[in-house]
Structure 1
Amino acid sequence: MADRADEKALPPGVRIRDGAIEINFSVKKQRYFITLPHPPTAEGIRTAAKIKSDLKTKAKWGILTEADISKVKGIEIPENNPADEEQVLFQDMAQKFLKFSGANKDSKNGYRKILEFHWMPYFALTPISNITTEDIEEVIIDRDFQIAKTFNNCVTPLRGVFELAVKHNQISANPMNKIKNRKVQVETPDPFTRKEMETLLAWLDKSLHDEDKFYRWYFEFAFWTGCRPSEMIALRESDIDWFNGTFKVNKSRVRGLEKKVTKTHTSREVYLNERSTLALKALLQFKKDQGYQTDYVMLCPKTKEPFFNEKPPRERLVEAMKACSIRHRPAYNARHTYATMLLMDGVNPMFVADQLGHSLQMLIKRYTKWLHGDKNKQEIAKLSVARTA
């Protein structure tokens, strides 16, 4: 019989049964119950939890074998080829890559899913030293990646696995070196015009009431600072320097997690203008009126908590675009709107790049169309004059 007295205190999937430790887990509708040869002590329970986690991972990857289960049960299985025991398998190196990766939690989860779905079914039980560039190319053909960006994202963790294998002297040459990223078409920014921006802000001002009025000032701030949504919802009062009319952008908030870095890992100081100052003061007054006791500037009116993501404000802008018959664009494009307004007004591109957190080269590459303000129209006008001459 199972001892249920302290069952709630045990790790999930671990229980004491008839004086022994049993682990259980379910993967792809298959349930596993495995009794381990470990004493029901604190150390034995910790070991069981780790074994359960490892086996469950292998089951998810589709590489859990009877030999794996027999081994953890303490049953010796004769090896057909003892030499293979010393070889590091792809799946072992993949687990090390995920463990040692310095990426954030979201990126690691993404890497794990990519490895499980695209690469493990082909390479999991193959010694890492046996995998060639040709093997990888054949798998790429089989996966039939249709979109260049998807392909590039999917080979990123694969590169990481082989780079780690080289670093740990498991292989001497990286088979991924000859596999290049595919060229991704860079889309031209699609900002709102100044007239569209003012129309959207006027609709938000007129149509939103009570606590939802927050979103009117949220977008006033977005349009007149060029901050990314993830940067805006991480902004704190302590970041604001009223004396110098600036605020610091040095962190971001993604899926409810605050990161101590921005998207480009570059902190910057953004200058307030008349419109963004007005918006910021209105946001702080809104927070005061609601009685919020937190350093965050942006708080979700519905939850009274810092935003988990930018979906709630985005939905308000989508509603405004539909109501005003304005062509749909992502709410993120408020950032492009600020950049193009500055450039069209003849503001120094170096200053614009600094405010957006771009390099000057990146700014020129992305916003060439707007760098000369109305001079483009003047050049086209010259063409018309030449034809009539």
Structure 2
Amino acid sequence: MDDQPSKRKMPTGVRIRHGRLQIYFSRNKETYNVTLPYPTTAAGINTAVKIRRELITKAEWGVLTDDDIALARGDVVADDSKIVDNGVLFQEVAQKYLKHCEANQDSKGDYLSALNKHWMPRLALMPIDKITSDKVRDVIADIGFNSDKTYNNCLVPLRGVFDKAIELRLITPADNPMSMIKNKKVQSGLPDPFTRDEMDALLNWLDVNLEGKDRFYYWYFEMAFWTGCRPSELIALRWSDIDWFNGSMIISKSRVRGVEKQVTKTHTAREVYLNDRSKRALEALDAMKLHDDYVMICPETSQPFYNEKPARMRLIDAMKAKRVRHRPAYNARHTYATMLLMADVNPVFVANQLGHSLQMLIKRYGRWIHGDQNKIEISKLPTN
């Protein structure tokens, strides 16, 4: 029979039975009841709360063992292992980091996935101020990342956790173990635009084969190829952003996984000028009257797009039908950029239309800036 309840309410998952402290919880269809070797004092109860939290964390990550339970009960003594520590744990700081992270939904999802898969199972129960550079290197060696790019990407949230620890004054900048962990050099790939002939073939196929509500996607890709907007920007476009009189539109928002952001990817609003093709596409979309607010409305749901997958699948169909080498639908943006540069349009104007700095434009699209002049120059080299 349980002892008489205390006048003070016990913490969740902690109780007193037969004069002894006990913790209880359920995880992954398993129920745990663990009697602890601590007095029923305030200090003992606080210790029970910490032990319960740490056992739950291990159970959630699938690393809870019989030895952990035995250690909590006091059945075994391990000189090199102590389940309770007064320090703030890595997993507590990681949760705070994710809560306060201002990245977009896609990035936050990637950070959560990286933490769950790689860092939490190995570091979750370690006090944040006890984690050293050597420990991080050991963990990295144990993981064995498949590529340098994945390695660099997974370091982003790990650095974020330790930056949050510095912000919370749990460690000092000098104690940050990540200051000794460097990213690996990754070779950046060149943009892979569609050629003008490929683009024309894809748009012609969409024009001929999409009927009824599906015809919307033909006009969607006319806009994508002839404005250079990112997919997240296109599906956030409003009719109020269109300046019919001056032939332009304001790009200042994005939609990612159904969440509307009042910023673009680069946090820079820009005015995109319409040409004959993009203006004709907007007029056709206006005539379809799909929505009074959004320009792009999913024909299947009659709602704003959650993401660009429905449009992407139509372009994949076109690529298969025309036997065009597969590329992401996003590369319609690269196609517009390279068409402008090959037409000898001022690079400053092109950078503004894409929302890039001039330096970034030159870095990414430098090989297209001079159009066919590069071929002319190389032909001057004697080979005989």
Question: For the superposition of Structure 1 and Structure 2, which TM-score range results when normalised by the shorter chain?
Answer: 0.7 to 0.9
1:377 & 1:106 partners in 2: Cα distance?
Answer: 40
Q: Structure 1's 114 and 83: CA in aligned 2 closer, same or farther, altered over 3 A?
A: closer
Among 356, 359, 362, which residue is 2:357 paired with? 359
1:33 & 1:122 partners in 2: Cα distance?
Answer: 22
1:33 & 1:130 partners in 2: Cα distance?
Answer: 29
Give the equivalent residue in structure 2 for 1:148: 148
1:215 aligns with 2:217: yes
- State whether residues 190 and 364 of structure 2, in contact with CA within 8 Å, keep that contact through their aligned partners in structure 1: yes
2:115 & 2:383 partners in 1: Cα distance?
Answer: 60
Among 342, 345, 361, which residue is 1:344 paired with? 342
1:233 aligns with 2:232: no
Distance apart, 1:83 and its partner CA:
12
Deviation per residue, 1:296-341 (Å, 9 max, x gap):
1111111111111111111111111121122221111110110000
- Matched length: 341
2:195 & 2:99 partners in 1: Cα distance?
Answer: 47
What is the identity, as a one-letter code, of the residue corresponding to 1:158? L
1:167 & 1:67 partners in 2: Cα distance?
Answer: 35
- State whether residues 225 and 335 of structure 1, in contact with CA within 8 Å, keep that contact through their aligned partners in structure 2: yes
Deviation per residue, 1:139-165 (Å, 9 max, x gap):
111111121221111111111111122
Structure 2: state its 5+ residue gaps: 1-12, 14-23, 35-51
Residue aligned with 2:271, SS: strand
**What does 1:237-316 align with in structure 2 at a 5 Å threshold?**
237-286=239-288, 288=289, 292-316=290-314
Give the equivalent residue in structure 1 for 2:376: 378
Q: Structure 1's 34 and 258: CA in aligned 2 closer, same or farther, altered over 3 A?
A: farther
Q: Structure 1's 137 and 237: CA in aligned 2 closer, same or farther, altered over 3 A?
A: same
Q: Structure 1's 109 and 315: CA in aligned 2 closer, same or farther, altered over 3 A?
A: closer
1:103 & 1:128 partners in 2: Cα distance?
Answer: 23
Distance apart, 1:357 and its partner CA:
0.7
Deviates more, 1:359-368 or 1:243-252: 243-252
- State whether residues 228 and 336 of structure 2, in contact with CA within 8 Å, keep that contact through their aligned partners in structure 1: yes
- State whether residues 25 and 33 of structure 1, in contact with CA within 8 Å, keep that contact through their aligned partners in structure 2: yes
What is the identity, as a one-letter code, of the residue corresponding to 1:364? I
**What does 1:1-389 align with in structure 2 at a 5 Å threshold?**
26-27=27-28, 30-32=29-31, 59-62=59-62, 85-172=85-172, 173-286=175-288, 288=289, 292-383=290-381, 386-387=382-383
Deviation per residue, 1:158-205 (Å, 9 max, x gap):
111111222222222201001111122211111111111111111111
Give the equivalent residue in structure 2 for 1:6: none
Deviation per residue, 1:193-220 (Å, 9 max, x gap):
1111111111111111111111111111
Deviation per residue, 1:327-381 (Å, 9 max, x gap):
2211111101100000000100011011001111110011111000121121133
1:349 & 1:25 partners in 2: Cα distance?
Answer: 61
1:65 & 1:364 partners in 2: Cα distance?
Answer: 56
Q: Kindly, what percent of the aligned residue pairs are identical?
A: 59
- State whether residues 27 and 60 of structure 2, in contact with CA within 8 Å, keep that contact through their aligned partners in structure 1: no
1:293 & 1:195 partners in 2: Cα distance?
Answer: 33
What is the identity, as a one-letter code, of the residue corresponding to 1:208? L
1:57 & 1:294 partners in 2: Cα distance?
Answer: 49
Q: Structure 1's 68 and 346: CA in aligned 2 closer, same or farther, altered over 3 A?
A: same
Deviation per residue, 1:254-277 (Å, 9 max, x gap):
112212221112111111111110
Q: TM-score, normalised by structure 1?
A: 0.79
Deviates more, 1:130-139 or 1:100-109: 100-109
Distance apart, 1:58 and its partner CA:
5.5
1:152 & 1:162 partners in 2: Cα distance?
Answer: 16
Structure 1: state its 5+ residue gaps: 1-13, 15-22, 36-51, 70-74
Residue aligned with 2:160, SS: helix
1:281 & 1:57 partners in 2: Cα distance?
Answer: 56
What is the identity, as a one-letter code, of the residue corresponding to 1:375? Q
Supply the RMSD in Å over aligned alpha carbons. Answer: 3.3
Distance apart, 1:64 and its partner CA:
6.5
- State whether residues 294 and 304 of structure 2, in contact with CA within 8 Å, keep that contact through their aligned partners in structure 1: yes
Q: TM-score, normalised by structure 2?
A: 0.80
Give the equivalent residue in structure 2 for 1:19: none
Residue aligned with 1:247, SS: strand
1:165 & 1:62 partners in 2: Cα distance?
Answer: 26
What is the identity, as a one-letter code, of the residue corresponding to 1:125? L
- State whether residues 60 and 116 of structure 1, in contact with CA within 8 Å, keep that contact through their aligned partners in structure 2: no
